[in-house]
């Protein structure tokens, strides 16, 4: 077994949003996007040291933090970013809202492409902007941008929100897709806000994360939102940042967050530095563990639940499942009754889909899959008992 299993912990009684949804019920939670693993030892140590210091005053991002973030952008993402390009945020979601406020006027268009993380649909509405919904084009379980529909809908659109790698479909967009997106945006005078929160969770050897800022035509009209939160399992520490090369865009973005979302807590800064500077080996272990879990998931679905179609899972620790062949009125409810808590695709803009978070101990995943398989068996004509081969 991957030694990363040492990081698996029991999260009961820790006020976990993910676990408390089903408190007191025998339902395993595979819904919310956080992981059931302890964070990296370097992060825990950095936080411990800060706690021992015992003073928790207003804190600036220091040189070591900038060095860690700029080093990460350079070494991992191939971007020569400058210190001034970084705008600190208490989360990615405030960055989505700030982009809507900064780059589209009241009532002006903000395009997004569902199925997508629900905050993409909410951000324009929350800021009094007009959401322009252009679903991704789908062929089987593969999704990409619907270029024709985007062209048709582009009039009056000021901002495009994209998610790369994409939650929930699990794709890392290719360079050619992003180049096409860059020229689409340039042609229509649209600003791009790219949410890259899942960018260090690429699982497929053939897939790569290409940052929008690495696309020549897009770089000067883009805001890239990043955070250590998903990769290093520190979302409760509320630390994220925007990378904005263009000074005009950056100033507008900063104005949009002023007085509302321009403070990050010091524990978030500590975690962020230790994540990017000192947690490489831990991340390697994590990716290995997630790849094994993904293989278990794919195998069990193919063997026991072939009616369920699974998305590409190139990146992120979420599987996107099409359950339409099961013919269920309420798939979430059906699997909850079987002891498995999943996210409802309808919340992401596509019905008869479920999202399953597989960043959990392998035994928990196996138990969840066994429960799902039995629930699917129950929908069929009676046949002899089977079991998933988990190895």
Ligand X SMILES: Cc1ncc(COP(=O)(O)O)c(C=O)c1O
Which residues of the chain form contacts with ligand X (CB under 6 A)?
33, 91-93, 117, 163, 167, 195, 197, 227, 229, 235, 240
Identify the CA nearest to 87 among candidates 74, 75, 98.
Answer: 98
Q: Measured from the CB of residue 267, what is the shortest distance to ligand X in angstroms?
A: 14
For ligand X, which residue has the nearest CB?
A: 91
In a 10 Å sphere around its CB, with 0-12 CB exposed, 13-18 middle and 19+ buried, how is residue 91 labelled?
Answer: buried
Between 69 and 300, CB nearer to ligand X: 69
Q: Measured from the CB of residue 122, what is the shortest distance to ligand X in angstroms?
A: 11
Q: Measured from the CB of residue 360, what is the shortest distance to ligand X in angstroms?
A: 15
Q: Measured from the CB of residue 386, what is the shortest distance to ligand X in angstroms?
A: 34
In a 10 Å sphere around its CB, with 0-12 CB exposed, 13-18 middle and 19+ buried, how is residue 165 labelled?
Answer: buried
Q: Measured from the CB of residue 182, what is the shortest distance to ligand X in angstroms?
A: 20
* Whether the Cβ atoms of residue 79 and residue 99 lie closer than 8 Å to each other: no
Between 257 and 376, CB nearer to ligand X: 257
Q: Measured from the CB of residue 55, what is the shortest distance to ligand X in angstroms?
A: 26
Distance CA 197, CA 190 (A): 22
Identify the CA nearest to 184 among candidates 162, 211, 209.
Answer: 162
Task: Order the strands of the 130-133 sheet from edge to edge.
Answer: 86-89, 240-243, 222-226, 191-195, 157-163, 109-112, 130-133
Between 117 and 232, CB nearer to ligand X: 117
Distance CA 63, CA 76 (A): 19
Between 162 and 274, CB nearer to ligand X: 162
How many Cβ atoms from other residues are within 10 Å of residue 1's Cβ?
8
Helix, strand, coil content of the chain in percent (nearest 5): 45, 15, 40
181 is written with which tokens? 């997106």
Between 93 and 308, CB nearer to ligand X: 93
Between 121 and 300, CB nearer to ligand X: 121
Beta bridge pairs of residue 353: 322
Q: Measured from the CB of residue 93, what is the shortest distance to ligand X in angstroms?
A: 3
Between 182 and 268, CB nearer to ligand X: 268
């Amino acid at each position: 077994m991957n030694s990363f299993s040492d990081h698996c912990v029991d999260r009961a009684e820790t006020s976990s949003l993910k676990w408390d949804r089903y408190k007191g019920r025998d339902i395993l939670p595979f819904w919310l996007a956080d992981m059931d693993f302890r964070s990296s030892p370097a992060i825990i140590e950095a936080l411990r040291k800060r706690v021992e210091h015992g003073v928790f005053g207003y804190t600036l991002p220091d040189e070591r933090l900038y060095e860690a973030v700029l080093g990460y952008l350079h070494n991992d993402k191939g971007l020569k970013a400058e210190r001034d390009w970084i705008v600190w945020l208490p989360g990615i979601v405030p960055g989505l809202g700030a982009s809507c406020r900064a780059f589209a006027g009241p009532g002006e268009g903000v395009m997004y492409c569902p199925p997508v993380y629900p905050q993409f649909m909410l951000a324009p509405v929350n800021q009094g902007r007009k959401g322009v919904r252009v679903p991704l084009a789908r062929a089987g379980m593969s999704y990409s941008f619907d270029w024709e529909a985007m062209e048709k809908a582009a009039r009056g659109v000021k901002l495009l929100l994209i998610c790369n790698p994409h939650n929930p479909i699990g794709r890392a967009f290719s360079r050619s897709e992003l180049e096409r997106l860059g020229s689409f945006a340039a042609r229509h005078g649209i600003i791009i806000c790219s949410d890259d929160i899942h960018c260090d969770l690429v699982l497929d050897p053939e897939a790569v994360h290409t940052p929008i800022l690495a696309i020549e035509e897009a770089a000067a009209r883009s805001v890239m939102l990043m955070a250590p939160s998903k990769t290093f399992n520190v979302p409760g520490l509320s630390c994220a940042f925007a990378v904005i090369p263009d000074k005009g865009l950056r100033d507008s973005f900063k104005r949009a967050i002023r007085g509302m979302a321009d403070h990050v807590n010091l524990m978030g800064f500590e975690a962020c530095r230790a994540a990017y500077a000192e947690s490489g080996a831990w991340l390697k272990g994590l990716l290995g563990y997630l790849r094994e879990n993904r293989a278990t998931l794919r195998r069990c679905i193919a063997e026991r639940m072939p009616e369920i179609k699974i998305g590409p899972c190139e990146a992120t620790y979420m599987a996107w499942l099409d359950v339409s062949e099961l013919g269920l009125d309420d798939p979430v409810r059906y699997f909850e009754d079987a002891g498995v808590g999943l996210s409802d695709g309808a919340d992401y803009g596509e019905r008869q889909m479920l999202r399953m978070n597989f960043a959990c101990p392998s035994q928990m995943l196996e138990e969840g899959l066994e429960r799902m398989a039995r629930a699917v068996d129950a929908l069929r004509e009676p046949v002899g008992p089977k079991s998933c081969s988990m190895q």
